[in-house]
Structure 1
């Protein structure tokens, strides 16, 4: 899309009409979603005083994201994104419309509220990866990072406004009116998506199908050690930090004696703190690395949980939740940024979907666990246990450093096209690739060390099997082999090799002593009709 006006800096994407319209619509849509969540979280305390029931509502909203984030990431790559987003918005509007009708008629029950919250979580799971994936379509390439930052800012604006507005609307007009406001917000988003003049994607002969894309995403995740570090640290942090979110409605109502409006103010305070944290984040990153920022987030979150366990005055609770918002956005952006930095563009949506799965899985499991513990130990005791666990986990995991994210993942396109005698069907496979090296005996140890590092890249980019063999008659002849499921997947592999991978290959080739480049051969499974 061409910009209507040239600009640079943080707010440059807002000068581009399509991004500005969709950004404004999503802020309104997210505001409505937070209003709905406030109404649901508060209504469950009317329907049941059980901490487990209250935590169940929190878990019902995050469980679908845990279950569906990865399939949603795949769908993002294989469906028309605009139509997909419209369908999801219709689903979410239907959920809130049903909640509005049930609340107005007095028929809303604990089971219905949990079930509809689960359906709303399904919509959020389907929508999340797609919203992230469309950003490069809405702005110029040089504005993508600013657009991502503005999306985070928009979410926190909605987080600041939505809960407070929802709480006031709930207190003044009731749950039905609050849910009705959410329905109206979805209509705004649907109208913006219908208006969006999205260009049709050109046909790609190597386009992946759902199952193939699903397998490729899982293969990459399984083979990427830097991503494993991010996922483990995210899982542990959010599992402990989820205690404050699972029990906050009971803190507001039972421990602090507040009403729905006060609960909305508490959540609004978290949102305001998140906005403040987002604005000062560049300065914090200039002074501290990612590991220090994540440790600081754990310490601040634990202190807030400890303060809330003491049933402080209401104004103190509002104040400390400002710090919770700042710590929360710091942890979210730090971990999300680390995940983004280790994912190449071709698998970014699926990799981020795995990250969302871990994030929401930790939040869901944590919410259920903290809710059950709250039944036995009480809300104040549970908050103290969560705070102590988060502090301990923060200092222990600080020793497991996050990846620096400074590797070059831009495609190198340095692999030559494979030689073929005749055209090969894309679905034919599996494919065996052999690369023959000549390595002198005194270089064997260094060669094997270098090629072991290269094996991770082979598996990430599509190989499901990899190994190294040597010629029994000539040990200086070493063959690297790897298996790919189809000819099309191998051609995609050619497009996925990054500049960082090219550097690794260069280190391996440094030990090849042959006059020519290593010989590369491709072997296909032979179709033998009539033979068993």
Structure 2
């Protein structure tokens, strides 16, 4: 069944802009992304002056995208264990230094292909480090009810920058040269850093339980492994974008070979996609309120499939522009819905790591899909590839409609409802592993319902830090049931206390209602001696 329709936030899709911090950072991000697209245009053109080799041009593209695959998950870890504001400032300084170096090399005539590739790679590292962190701060800037609209506005901002940046970069490059264009990009980082310095985000508190990189990586992967709600989002994103990537991958060839256009017409098609994205961001809250998130995803699949099939028929150029306008609206609807749902099912302590995995799946689906559809087009022709992608996307959209997206409405903020452990003496944080036993007394008639509730709780135990979990009964007393789980260290167990959410507290309360003992369930902590 589809998720219930949600109400449109007061103020519509632009409601988050009423919050000053979000509006300032959003505007700064649009300017920063516009500068990045200008830099990419300058680098892409400059490499053709330095070398006529297609391999050199391809190396620039690979250098900018490869870090996303290599560093997305480590970047997510860093965004969770470091102060996100300071981390973003540091990344912006790195990117500003890249643009400054490019400016100096271009102005002095000392630029080489190898230097351009190396600096583009460093810029890609900065982009990879920044992406999950930018997305992680959105829930800190707007109320939960406006999260989907805020994510849509972020996507809209990227499309605005994509529409303005390349065109402005081309004009500046033609009029003033590569060095000046790099200088404008450098100025955009100054604006972003100023906005981040203005934002007064509460500082992270370090009380000795702050995570270190290795442990944070393990904890994040463990959470993702046992988060069934996130699995649904990742599965739907993987299949949707793998099939929907065909138009993106083949668009230059569609413009030239199927529609008989040149470079200007290709730019018009890209602009139409961007315009459709803006239209989709405006209309999406209204559409979502009537279709629900699953209905919206199915509608997006149908529209993109129809766009692919229509383009395969070589329509007139004006009709193709209209088709891509609709495709852009559907694309932004699907992209925003999946991204916002991923954010909604992740608690703050692991949000960067979870979003990094989501971004890895998204980029992997786009890259793998692009390669696949390029190969299919070689074998079956452009029209054949577009029709195949349309049929595949329709089939996937209908099949995944039976796997509803999670509502993402659970309260994942810390509840602090676990009592502090009783200790005979202070325990070093690195001591472990730790075995925790919880002893219940259960009426035999309630055993099945109790075990079902306990199974739901086991997912939270594993997500929040347990590497093993089980339930046992007393052979001499079938009313006595013990839940047990193990964590890698005492510090990790204390973090587990902090990670327990209000949603977890509801499950705990349900389990406690089955306990018939005169005293609360007894909790014991056992520390390894080996």
Kept in 2: contact 1:243–1:366 (CA 8 A): yes
Instruction: State the shift of 1:10 in Å.
Output: 6.8
Assess, with a 3 A threshold, how the Cα gap between structure 1 residues 149 and 372 changes in structure 2: closer, same or farther: closer
Task: Tell me what 1:359 maps to.
Answer: 362
Q: What secondary structure, in the 3-state scheme, does the structure 2 residue paired with 1:127 have?
A: helix
* Counterpart Cα distance in 2 of 1:137 and 1:409: 13
Give RMSD over aligned pairs. 3.7
Task: Tell me what 1:231 maps to.
Answer: 234
More deviation, 83-92/282-291: 83-92
Indicate whether 1:467 and 2:475 are aligned.
no
Indicate whether 1:386 and 2:389 are aligned.
yes
Q: What secondary structure, in the 3-state scheme, does the structure 2 residue paired with 1:335 have?
A: helix
Q: What secondary structure, in the 3-state scheme, does the structure 1 residue paired with 2:446 have?
A: helix
Assess, with a 3 A threshold, how the Cα gap between structure 1 residues 49 and 472 changes in structure 2: closer, same or farther: farther
Q: TM-score, normalised by structure 1?
A: 0.85
* Residues 36-185 of structure 1: pairs in structure 2 closer than 5 A: 36-37=39-40, 61-93=64-96, 118-135=121-138, 148=151, 150-166=153-169, 181-185=184-188
* Counterpart Cα distance in 2 of 1:346 and 1:520: 25
Instruction: State the shift of 1:58 in Å.
Output: 6.7
The CA deviation string for residues 416-457 of structure 1, in whole angstroms up to 9 with x for no partner, is 111001111111111100011122333222222221111111
Instruction: State the shift of 1:223 in Å.
Output: 0.7
Task: Tell me what 1:488 maps to.
Answer: 491
Instruction: State the shift of 1:512 in Å.
Output: 2.1
Assess, with a 3 A threshold, how the Cα gap between structure 1 residues 114 and 366 changes in structure 2: closer, same or farther: farther
Indicate whether 1:407 and 2:406 are aligned.
no
- 1:508 paired residue among 503, 507, 511: 511
Indicate whether 1:428 and 2:441 are aligned.
no
* Counterpart Cα distance in 2 of 1:174 and 1:312: 38
Task: Tell me what 2:376 maps to.
Answer: 373
* Counterpart Cα distance in 1 of 2:405 and 2:113: 41
Instruction: State the shift of 1:247 in Å.
Output: 2.2
Instruction: State the shift of 1:214 in Å.
Output: 1.2
Task: Tell me what 1:349 maps to.
Answer: 352
Assess, with a 3 A threshold, how the Cα gap between structure 1 residues 42 and 367 changes in structure 2: closer, same or farther: farther
Instruction: State the shift of 1:357 in Å.
Output: 1.6
* Counterpart Cα distance in 2 of 1:252 and 1:99: 33
* Counterpart Cα distance in 2 of 1:399 and 1:18: 38
* Counterpart Cα distance in 2 of 1:523 and 1:390: 52
Q: How many residues align?
A: 521
The CA deviation string for residues 147-197 of structure 1, in whole angstroms up to 9 with x for no partner, is 555434433332332344345556777777666644443343345445656
Instruction: State the shift of 1:396 in Å.
Output: 1.6
Assess, with a 3 A threshold, how the Cα gap between structure 1 residues 317 and 19 changes in structure 2: closer, same or farther: same
Indicate whether 1:265 and 2:264 are aligned.
no
The CA deviation string for residues 90-119 of structure 1, in whole angstroms up to 9 with x for no partner, is 444455567778999999999988776554
The CA deviation string for residues 290-340 of structure 1, in whole angstroms up to 9 with x for no partner, is 111111111111222223333433333322221121011100111112212
Assess, with a 3 A threshold, how the Cα gap between structure 1 residues 227 and 303 changes in structure 2: closer, same or farther: same
Q: What secondary structure, in the 3-state scheme, does the structure 2 residue paired with 1:523 have?
A: strand
Assess, with a 3 A threshold, how the Cα gap between structure 1 residues 380 and 204 changes in structure 2: closer, same or farther: farther
Q: What secondary structure, in the 3-state scheme, does the structure 1 residue paired with 2:478 have?
A: coil
More deviation, 401-410/450-459: 401-410
Task: Tell me what 1:4 maps to.
Answer: none
- 1:218 paired residue among 212, 221, 244: 221
Kept in 2: contact 1:290–1:402 (CA 8 A): yes
- 2:525 paired residue among 522, 525, 528: 522
Instruction: State the shift of 1:465 in Å.
Output: 0.4
Kept in 1: contact 2:487–2:493 (CA 8 A): yes
Assess, with a 3 A threshold, how the Cα gap between structure 1 residues 479 and 34 changes in structure 2: closer, same or farther: same
* Counterpart Cα distance in 2 of 1:187 and 1:39: 19
Instruction: State the shift of 1:66 in Å.
Output: 3.3
Which 5+ residue runs of structure 1 have no aligned equivalent? 1-6, 528-532
Task: Tell me what 1:3 maps to.
Answer: none
* Counterpart Cα distance in 1 of 2:313 and 2:517: 73
Indicate whether 1:30 and 2:33 are aligned.
yes
Instruction: State the shift of 1:511 in Å.
Output: 2.5
- 1:396 paired residue among 399, 405, 425: 399
Which 5+ residue runs of structure 2 have no aligned equivalent? 1-9
Kept in 2: contact 1:59–1:365 (CA 8 A): no
Kept in 2: contact 1:462–1:490 (CA 8 A): yes
The CA deviation string for residues 29-52 of structure 1, in whole angstroms up to 9 with x for no partner, is 112233445667789999999999
* Counterpart Cα distance in 1 of 2:256 and 2:64: 21
- 1:478 paired residue among 477, 481, 485: 481
* Counterpart Cα distance in 1 of 2:472 and 2:481: 6
Q: TM-score, normalised by structure 2?
A: 0.85
* Counterpart Cα distance in 2 of 1:501 and 1:158: 41
* Counterpart Cα distance in 1 of 2:469 and 2:521: 17
Kept in 1: contact 2:273–2:325 (CA 8 A): yes
Assess, with a 3 A threshold, how the Cα gap between structure 1 residues 445 and 296 changes in structure 2: closer, same or farther: same
Q: What secondary structure, in the 3-state scheme, does the structure 1 residue paired with 2:299 have?
A: helix
Kept in 1: contact 2:80–2:349 (CA 8 A): no
